[in-house]
Amino acid sequence: MNTVFSPAPSVTVPVVGTSAQFPVHRIYCVGRNYIEHAQEMGHSGREPPFFFMKPADAVLVAAPGSVTPLPYPGLTKNLHYEIELVVAIGTGGKNIALEQAESHIFGYAVGLDMTRRDLQNEMKALGRPWCIGKGFDHSAPIGPITTKSAAGDITHAAISLQVNDAQRQSSTLRHLIWNIAETIAQLSTAWELQPGDLIYTGTPAGVGAVLPGDTLKGSISGLTSIELKVI
Ligand code: MN
């Protein structure tokens, strides 16, 4: 194809156990999906699910076995971590039935929904979109994707985040308010899901700020852990 400049390279995430890469289409995120986190953000924890997006090229692949640099973004004085299960969609669809939802999953990964909390709160107060707080460059760190069959049943998996080796977030996936199937079914009523979509499923309680020099270690049992250093 004759294009006026070179198209941006496609965004891909490694898949555990193969040299093939998972090409990213869109990044959807679920807000307030663990009761204790909803409460720490000042809500009851009983609202219907809601969604926001990050650009696909906000992905920052955290290579296994190494510490990935995470650039501290501009404009903020309050960069927060949010450890999250990421669901990778392999088969698209709209209005997906709850019972069919799992068949649309390709695999799972450990991710971080990095957030400029001060800007997000400012936008919330003004009733404006969250993009500047959520959708900035490198705001979506992610580890390699483990296929659904290799991961097995992860509905009770432990999820945790350490900052400088101190535990900051710790929960299990069974505490998701809207579970994985419900999230896929709901999301697919609003957008037609496509192969390559990533869904950041929300964070447990314990979110907080990091500064340059801090190290983040995120884990979900059964998946590849991630380690990043804020620079
Ligand atoms: Mn989040």
Question: What pLDDT digit, counting tens, does each position of 19-46 carry?
Answer: 999 999 999 999 988 988 888 888 877 7
CA–centroid distance, 13 to ligand 1, in Å, is 19
Scanning the structure block, which residue is given the tokens 């340059």?
212
Quick one: pLDDT at residue 101?
A: 98
Model pTM? 0.97
Regions of the chain with pLDDT less than 50: none
Q: Is residue 19 part of a domain?
A: yes
Number of domains in the chain: 1
1 CA distance to ligand 1 centroid (A)? 38
What's the mean per-residue pLDDT of the chain?
96
Cα angle value 153/155/156 (rounded, 5°): 105
* C-alpha 4 to ligand 1 mean position (Å): 36
In a domain, 2, yes or no: no
Residue 55 CA to ligand 1 centre (angstroms):
14
Give the separation between CA 83 and CA 228, rounded to whole angstroms: 12
Quick one: CA torsion of 150, 60, 174, 172, rounded to 10 degrees?
A: 100
Q: How far is CA 187 from CA 7, 29, 108, 113, 199, in A?
A: 29, 10, 17, 18, 9
| CA 9 / ligand 1 centre spacing (Å) | 26
Residue 6 resides in a domain: no
pLDDT at 49: 87
pLDDT of residue 42: 85
Q: Is 99 inside any structural domain? A: yes
Within-domain flag for 218:
yes
Whether 71 maps to a domain, the answer reads yes
In a domain, 5, yes or no: no
Assign residue 96 the CATH number of its domain: 3.90.850.10
Domain that holds residue 86: 12-230
Q: Confirm whether 3 is domain-assigned.
A: no
